[in-house]
Structure 1
């Protein structure tokens, strides 16, 4: 289990944590290293256990999931937070992503999708539940007006022409394989481009890339 993805479960409902534990422990290569019933306990366990991924509830007493996510991603940027909630309200999704979460899923997500999401965020990708993506962009649109400042232009000029193409497709929600097909590149080449884009723009993951692309007007909400 030395190469297993180490996961911390955070939810104020014991039965919910039990359900997630059963799903995850049945999957080879994933290890549940601990459970927390609120954000404060999660912060203690994350500091001690340093998991690869935290499955984080949003609504909890005391320190809620959004505040806990912000503290975790600030203290331990190598730990990814995947927010799971029963609510698909816009402010929860956008709040979680602004706090540094690498993904947002609903609790009724199928087990296979949850497992795939965990592996995706560990690999540096972002995951957002498809049925809330449109709402998320609609909610964020007023805050993401095109910024054509010198700073914005400088950020884009740091990218090569090919990297700009990849950046635009990323912002439109294309996966690495879809970007590869659209630009007639290999998937490994696309992964290299994505890594360079994140590095040049000082971004943590694809979620931040999407938000930046909308803010800069690279793509616009329809």
Structure 2
């Protein structure tokens, strides 16, 4: 009963007959990618919070909030402008998806740089959020056609839902692992480099 309960959240109904044979390798690498992505987010968020002055109490709560809102606003504008290129997303989906993951890593790297240059928090954070939101548009736009290629019959909704569930579970596991790691105060750059390599390798194998 426990296994049946777990399967109801992570695999499409009728699995494995309801999907193509290449679905399992794809989802395995996708889960690993989300695991490393979740782990990296802990370090990049910590860098952002430190650079904006939360830990040092050098900034008022109002100034912190304004900087954070401006950062998020810049990302949304970038996402909206890039969405105009949507017609091009229908060609070479997997290559485009990998390019989006490369951009996601670039954005995370820029976020990490705010720890070294806290005085440049706002421009760096805005730039990072624009890059990451452009990557998010690419990921969202290519997700359904890729899942459709693995679905058999009229079960694309189920395949998509279970695929996103697996990604979320892996993301949470990666986040939890990274929180435990961060308590030991490891090198920020070294930790990010290892996790980033894992993320990009998983993304490449996912194609």
Q: Which has the higher strand share?
A: 1
Q: TM-score, normalised by structure 1?
A: 0.23
Q: TM-score, normalised by structure 2?
A: 0.24
Higher Cα Rg, which structure: 2
Q: Which has the higher helix share?
A: 2
Q: RCO greater where, 1 or 2, for CA within 8 Å and sep 6 or more?
A: 2
